[in-house]
Structure 1
Amino acid sequence: MLSSGRRRLFSALLQVQKRPCQPSRDMRLVQFQTPHLEEPHLGLESGIGGGVVDLNTFDPTLPKTMMQFLEQGETSLSVARRALATQLPILPRSQVTFLAPVTRPDKVVCVGMNYADHCKEQNVRVPKEPIIFSKFSSSIVGPYDEIILPPESEEVDWEVELAVIIGKKGKHIKATDAMAHVAGFTVAHDVSARDWQMRRNGKQWLLGKTFDTFCPLGPALVTRDSIADPHNLKICCRVNGEEVQSSNTNQMVFKTEDLIAWVSQFVTLYPGDVILTGTPPGVGVFRKPPVFLKKGDEVQCEIEDIGVIINRVV
C-alpha cells in the first residue's frame, strides 16, 4: 500500500503528464529499485510518466549502475536498443522507486547566468564566457526524493535546469565534436541557499549550492538521439502548483557544445559527469519581495520531452 506521501506524488505526476502513458521508442534510461530487488537495477522508462522495463532481467550481463553502463559505451547501448525493440514486461510505476539516473559522478559542473532572459531579469550583461561553479556529487538525490531545508540557511531557492550527462571521456574537446561526448539529457533542480551563495564565505557559490539533497535529478537519462533539439525545449518550474519559471532552452547563451568545449579546456570529462546548464528567470530571490522555499512546499521541475521531477521540501 502506498504511503500518503507517495499517493500525493503519483497524483501530482498524473496532473503534470502531458500525454498518455504508452511504450516509447525513445531511449529513456533509469536507475530504479523495487521491494523485491536486493540492489538497484537499470531500466527503460516506457514513456513520460510510464512504467519501467528491467534491463538487468533482460540481460543479466549488463552492469547495474548507470556509471558502469556509460563506461561500457556502445556495448551496453546495443543491449538497451535490443530491449527497446522487444515486447517486454513493464513494471507499473507505482511499484518502482526511481533513483537519480546518475549517482556519484566524478563531477557536477554548473553554469551560471546562462539564460538571456535570466540576465535581463537581473539587469546584468550577458556573459562573454561561461561562468562555471560546482556542486559536490553528494548533493544528488532522486527525482521524487525530499529536499531537506538546512538549519544553516533561511533563503533556499528553486532553479529548474537542463542537465547534460557525459557519455564519453574527453579533454580539449572541440565544439564541433562535443555532441559525440553526450550520453543524454535529464531534468535537474539546482537548489540554492542564497544567503550562503551571495553573502557568506566570501561570496563563493559552492557552499550555497551543495548542501545535501540540493541536486535532484531525473527521472530518466534521455539519450542524445531521442531529443530532436535540446536547445528548443520548454522548461518550467512550479511551486505548490503555481508556475514560477517558464522559458525555453533556446534562451541559453552558451549551448551544450560550447559548454563542453569550454569546460574540457580545464578538466577531463568522464562518463557520468553532469553539466547543469543554467536556469531561466523567475527564481525566488529576485521577486519583490523575495520568496524562499519552506517546509511542506512541493517543487515540480519540468522540461519538454524529458519529464518532470517532483520534490517535497522538509
Structure 2
Amino acid sequence: MRIGCIGGRAWLVTAEGQGVDIAAASGGTLPGDPQALYEKWDDVCAWARDVPADSYAPVDPATFELPVPRPRQVFAIGANYRAHAAEAGVEPPEQPVIFTKFPSCLTGPNDAVAIRHARVDWEVELVVVMGREARDIRAADAWDHVAGLSVGQDISERSIQRLGPMPQFSMAKSLPGFGPVGPVVVTPDEFDDPDDLGLGCAVNGVTMQQSRTGDFIFSVGALVEYISHLMPMYPGDLIFTGTPEGVGATRKPPIFLKPGDVLTTWVDGIGTLTNPITEEQSQ
C-alpha cells in the first residue's frame, strides 16, 4: 500500500501512477487529512484491501505534497551507517545517536528549498513513519508498529552545526525546508526486504551518495526498540534513520549546495524527491 498527499488530502496510490481520494472513496469513514490517517491506521489497511480497481484514476507525481505534514515528534539518527562513520572519522556508536528535526522544517517532495548560508549539505535518508503507538517495544515486534517508509533529506547547515563547544545538530538541520519527505509512504510488506533498500542522491544529475540500508549500524527494529524504551512514539511520528557516506562536508575539497542546484533523492521501491535549491529572499 502506498499513501500520498494531493491538494492537502490523503490518497491511496499505486506504483503505476493511479490513485484514489481516501476520504471520498471510503464515504467519509476515513479522514481526508493525511496526518489524521495514521491515527486510524488499522482501519486504513483493512479498507484498502477491498478498493475496487475502477475507483482509481491517473495522478501526476508532480502534484504530490508532504505525506506526513504534522508529526508530533521527528527523531533523527546520527552516524548510523558504517561507511559514513568511517568517512567522518568517528568510531561506530555503541548506542543510537539521537537528535530531533523540528517539524516546522518539513517540506514536500517537489518543493523548492531556499537557502541563505554557504555550507548547506545533503543527506539522503530512509524515513520511518509510525502507524501505532509504541512503548517498550522489542526489536522483533517493531515492524508491527510501522505504517511505512518514505524518502527524506536531512539537509544540514554545517557552519551552524559546529557553532559553540557542542554540536548544534537540531538547529542546523531544522532551518525552513531542511526536511523534504515523500513522495509517498510505502508499507513494509511492499518490499522483499525492508531492512536492505538501495538509496542515494544527486546534485544536478551527478550522484553524490549511493548505498544500501543494509549498512545500518542500528536497524529499524533496533531504533524503534531503543527510542520506545525511553519515550513513547505516536502514530505519524517520523524517524530519519541516518545518512550514508558521500556528504559534501567530507569531500576534498568540500562541496555544498548553492542556489540554482537541483537536489534529487531516491529510495528504491518508494520514489524520488526533486527539490530545486533557491536563494532565500531577504524580508
Residues 74 and 102 in structure 2, CA contact (< 8 A), matched pair in contact too: yes
Task: Determine helix, strand or coil for the equivalent of 1:253.
Answer: coil
Residues 9 and 34 in structure 2, CA contact (< 8 A), matched pair in contact too: no
Residues 66 and 272 in structure 1, CA contact (< 8 A), matched pair in contact too: no
TM-aligned CA deviation for residue 266 of structure 1: 1.8
Partner of 2:281: none
Residues 162 and 188 in structure 1, CA contact (< 8 A), matched pair in contact too: yes
Partner of 2:210: 246
TM-aligned CA deviation for residue 200 of structure 1: 4.4
Task: Determine helix, strand or coil for the equivalent of 1:72.
Answer: helix
Cα RMSD between the aligned structures? 1.5
**In the aligned structure 2, how far is the partner of 1:124 from the partner of 1:203?**
14
The question of 1:294 aligning with 2:249 is answered no
**In the aligned structure 2, how far is the partner of 1:198 from the partner of 1:218?**
28
Partner of 1:256: 220
Query: What are the within-5 Å matches in structure 2 for residues 102-251 of structure 1?
Result: 102-149=68-115, 151=116, 153-200=117-164, 202-251=166-215
Gaps of 5+ in 1: 1-26, 34-39
| 1:51-81 alpha-carbon deviations (Å, 9 max, x no partner) | 4322223123120122221111221221222
Partner of 1:91: 58
Residues 52 and 93 in structure 1, CA contact (< 8 A), matched pair in contact too: no
**In the aligned structure 2, how far is the partner of 1:30 from the partner of 1:304?**
17
Partner of 2:19: 52
TM-aligned CA deviation for residue 233 of structure 1: 1.2
The structure carrying a bigger strand percent of its residues is 2
- In structure 1, which of residues 256, 263, 266 is the aligned counterpart of residue 230 of structure 2? 266
1:169 partner amino acid? E
Identity of aligned residues (%): 37
The question of 1:305 aligning with 2:269 is answered yes
| TM-score (norm. length: structure 2) | 0.94
| TM-score (norm. length: structure 1) | 0.85
Task: Determine helix, strand or coil for the equivalent of 1:103.
Answer: coil
Query: What are the within-5 Å matches in structure 2 for residues 26-41 of structure 1?
Result: 27-33=1-7, 40-41=8-9
Task: Determine helix, strand or coil for the equivalent of 2:77.
Answer: strand
Gaps of 5+ in 2: 279-283
| 1:27-56 alpha-carbon deviations (Å, 9 max, x no partner) | 1111111xxxxxx221122216x2432222
| 1:242-282 alpha-carbon deviations (Å, 9 max, x no partner) | 00001111001100000001111222100000000000111
Task: Determine helix, strand or coil for the equivalent of 1:257.
Answer: helix
**In the aligned structure 1, how far is the partner of 2:101 from the partner of 2:162?**
16
**In the aligned structure 2, how far is the partner of 1:46 from the partner of 1:262?**
33
Partner of 2:10: 42
Task: Determine helix, strand or coil for the equivalent of 1:176.
Answer: helix
TM-aligned CA deviation for residue 89 of structure 1: 3.4
